[in-house]
Amino acid sequence: MEVGIEYVEMKAGRLLDVLNDLGEQDTLEAKSIHEDTSRSVLETVCSFSNEPGLGGGVILIGVAECKSADGPEYVVDGVEDADKAQLDLATQCKSVFNLAVFPEIKVEKIGRKKVLKVVVDELPAKRKPLYFKKDGLPKGAYRRIGSPDLVATDVDLWMLYGHIAEQY
């Protein structure tokens, strides 16, 4: 099921427009490269991979959320070393989880700045849950409920594993 497919096909500039019109969505997330986002990006990869029926999602790296009196505004802060950022993310996705995941990572430009558009597919039910190896279960697994990434509970894991059992 490809719930967020419209975001997959959009260019980064259009995704920025969506963020400024609607904010982050269940299948669309913005991350600034200038803050310590490594763990935060990986939590979103994990939640997009795990959430049943979501179809995955898109992370736009190099876009910061600025708070204002009128609500959040998303601005491009850019990714200076796009090659290194891609390598770091791909390496982490391959090594920090209980199984390797391979998001599609593309470099795009918004104005004169580079951003990374990261497309994460939902995992097949029989491969779930994805979780951080060092944290184990349930603390290392994440779900996507609306726009936040939430730590999975025992009940969430039962639901994910129960969903697996229904496949057999």
Q: What's the mean pLDDT when you consider all of the chain?
A: 90
Decide if 30 contacts 64 (C-beta within 8 A): yes
pLDDT range class, residue 2, cuts 50, 70, 90: very low
- Tens digit of each residue's pLDDT (9 = 90 or more) over 38-74: 899 999 999 999 999 999 999 999 999 998 888 889 9
Q: How far apart are CA 61 and CA 32, in angstroms?
A: 6
pLDDT, residue 161, reads: 66
- What are the CA-CA distances from residue 37 to residues 44, 63, 85, 94 (Å)? 10, 11, 11, 17
- Confidence band (pLDDT; 50, 70, 90) for 106? very high
Terminal-residue alpha carbon distance, the chain = 19
Q: What is the pLDDT of residues 12-40, one digit of tens each?
A: 999 999 999 999 999 999 999 875 568 99
CA atoms of 162 and 120, how far apart (whole Å): 23
What is the pLDDT at residue 156? 85
Looking at residue 5, its pLDDT comes to 63
Given a cut of 90, whether residue 10 has pLDDT beyond it is yes
Residue 81 has pLDDT above 80, yes or no: yes
Structure tokens at 108: 């795009």
* Residues 142-157 pLDDT 10s: 999 999 999 999 888 8
Q: What is the pLDDT of residue 36?
A: 58
